[in-house]
Amino acid sequence: MGDYRKMWESLGMDLEKHDALCAVLPELYGATYLTQDNRPDGMNYFNFVISEVHGLRIEELSRHRENGGKVLGTFCVYVPDEIINALGAIGVGLCGGSQFWIEDGEKILPRNLCPLIKALVGAKISATCPYFQSCDLLVGETTCDGKKKAWEILNDYTPVHVMDMPQMKRSKDIEKWEEEVKYFIEKLEELTGNKLTYENLLNSIKLINKKRRALKRLYDLRKYTPSPISGLDALLISQIAFYDDIERFTENVNKLCDELEERIKNLKPNNKKRVMVTGTPMAIPNWKLHYIVENLDAQIVVEETCTGTRYFEREVSEEGETIDDLISNIADRYMGINCACFTPNTGRVEDIIKYAKEYKADGVIYYNLSFCQPYSVEYKKVEEALKKENIPLILIETDYSTEDSGQIKTRVEAFLEMI
């Protein structure tokens, strides 16, 4: 990595603490990723992105801000990227996936809270995440209770705009959501000084559709037996999607897919069990479950999570004569995401069954971050539905620490033997 200390200092970072974080990451990445055999060459781009995760990309964000642009931090796949991009701002996904930030998070949050929330708050208050430090505005949402209350704390550090999410999907809820999207546009127009037009919105929709299409192409390739790419690598790509430059990312995912299409022609069958993961998101650098599963000689072939299918499935319709039509297309597409924060959430159960079949999964791991109530309560419905379909299921509830890795390994091992 180049010398970025001056830049980090200008972002108000705690350099000493940040050094400690920088010391952990390469080691973790090396042990998790670089030990994999026979990785596609196209993964070199993503290795590079990780090696520069606190460097080059932050430099790009700084340059954007120097030129008068704004940077927005988001925490949920319901926040419409199309609007952010159309108004000339850059959006970065900020969910925390590292144990490193938990200690600081626990200084002001209860310990019995989801690690994703503790980590994101810890990342901000410890001033060790240059993405947080680069944000002009954070965009929260009223999804789960923990996140909802965390915005009040973050607002003491950086201005937060909260999108009021419906909790149900009746037509009156969807209308309300569309109004909320319009309110978001108003706020962003104020912040950026730019105006949303039919043209810039349509261009942005097209650009982001291309990105989602590239990810869909990658996931479709995972449907082959054996899958031409590890679950670990696919997860990494999904995580990087949240903060990389949109065009460059799309181009590199497509390049990788070209390579994988060649690869599948020569792949030899193997006996690896095909596993699907469903549940809570895995924010970077949370690679724990994938690492355990794939080191047991199984392959994760799909993730029904927000760092998986929920992020890229369904494109925003590009049809429509007016800007209002396009906004309504955006509202529609986002309301099609099936998060456990909604009630009822039958669409998610249907998605899980559909993906398990499409990706020919031998079994499903229900991944639940500790203390995430919406997903842990929803487990029952998923369990009942998968039982009817004869799809094996196991529940793994965990946090970001490595303390329970041995125990998870034993349980997954037994599950793999059974399926």
Q: Give residues 117-136 in contact with ligand BJ8 (rule: CB under 6 A).
A: 117
By CB under 6 A, tell whether 208 contacts ligand BJ8: no
Q: How far is the CB of 368 from ligand BJ8 (least distance, A)?
A: 8
Any idea of the CA torsion for 217, 230, 393, 397, to the nearest 10 degrees?
Answer: -110
Select the residue interacting with ligand BJ8 from 58, 339, 386, 408 (CB under 6 A): 339
Q: How far is the CB of 111 from ligand BJ8 (least distance, A)?
A: 14
DSSP per position, 29-56:
HIIIIIT-SS--TTHHHHHHHHHTTTTH
CB neighbours (10 Å) of residue 20?
Answer: 11
* Packing angle, helices 346-358 and 373-388, rounded to 10: 50
Q: How far is the CB of 108 from ligand BJ8 (least distance, A)?
A: 16
Closest alpha carbon to 73 in 155, 12, 174: 155
Select the residue interacting with ligand BJ8 from 85, 98, 126, 143 (CB under 6 A): 143
Name the residue nearer to ligand BJ8 (CB basis): 150 or 408.
150
**From 44-52, 81-89, 368-376, 393-401, span contacting ligand BJ8 (CB under 6 A):** 368-376
Q: Which amino acid is at 320?
A: G
Q: How far is the CB of 417 from ligand BJ8 (least distance, A)?
A: 29
CA distances in angstroms from 26 to 23, 93, 294, 387, listed in the order given: 7, 21, 20, 41
Site string for ligand BJ8, 286-325 (x = CB under 6 A): --------------------x-------------------
Closest alpha carbon to 185 in 93, 88, 92: 88
**From 4-12, 268-276, 371-379, 395-403, span contacting ligand BJ8 (CB under 6 A):** 371-379
Select the residue interacting with ligand BJ8 from 330, 341, 349, 365 (CB under 6 A): 341
By CB under 6 A, tell whether 49 contacts ligand BJ8: no
With contacts defined by CB under 6 A, how many residues of the chain interact with ligand BJ8?
20
| Extended strands (E) in 267-330 | 273-279, 298-304
195-200 own/partner pairs: CB under 8 Å, 24+ apart:
196/83, 196/86, 196/87, 196/323, 197/323, 198/322, 198/323, 198/326, 200/86, 200/87
Q: How far is the CB of 346 from ligand BJ8 (least distance, A)?
A: 16
Name the residue nearer to ligand BJ8 (CB basis): 252 or 309.
309
Select the residue interacting with ligand BJ8 from 140, 374, 392, 400 (CB under 6 A): 374
Q: How far is the CB of 341 from ligand BJ8 (least distance, A)?
A: 5
Edge-to-edge, what's the strand order for the sheet holding 160-163?
90-93, 71-74, 137-141, 160-163
Round to whole Å and give the CA distance between 295 and 231: 11
Coil/strand/helix, residue 396: strand
Round to whole Å and give the CA distance between 47 and 127: 25
Select the residue interacting with ligand BJ8 from 147, 161, 333, 348 (CB under 6 A): 147
By CB under 6 A, tell whether 78 contacts ligand BJ8: yes
User: Environment class of residue 388 by beta-carbon count within 10 Å: exposed (0-12), middle (13-18) or buried (19+)?
Assistant: exposed
Q: How far is the CB of 267 from ligand BJ8 (least distance, A)?
A: 32
Query: For 340-377, b where at least 16 C-beta lie within 10 A, e where not — what string?
Result: bbbeebeebbebbbebbeebebbbbbbbbbbbbebbbe
Select the residue interacting with ligand BJ8 from 7, 53, 77, 276 (CB under 6 A): 77
Name the residue nearer to ligand BJ8 (CB basis): 11 or 95.
95
By CB under 6 A, tell whether 398 contacts ligand BJ8: no
Name the residue nearer to ligand BJ8 (CB basis): 89 or 163.
163
Name the residue nearer to ligand BJ8 (CB basis): 237 or 257.
237
Placement of tokens 């590079």 in the chain:
48
Q: How far is the CB of 105 from ligand BJ8 (least distance, A)?
A: 12
By CB under 6 A, tell whether 281 contacts ligand BJ8: yes
Any idea of the CA torsion for 51, 213, 314, 132, to the nearest 10 degrees?
Answer: 20
**From 15-23, 73-81, 287-295, 345-353, span contacting ligand BJ8 (CB under 6 A):** 73-81
Contact call for residues 90 and 84 (beta carbons, < 8 A) = yes
Coil/strand/helix, residue 412: helix
Q: Summarize as ranges the residues that interact with ligand BJ8 (CB under 6 A).
A: 76-78, 114, 116-117, 143-144, 146-147, 280-281, 306, 337, 339, 341, 369, 372, 374-375
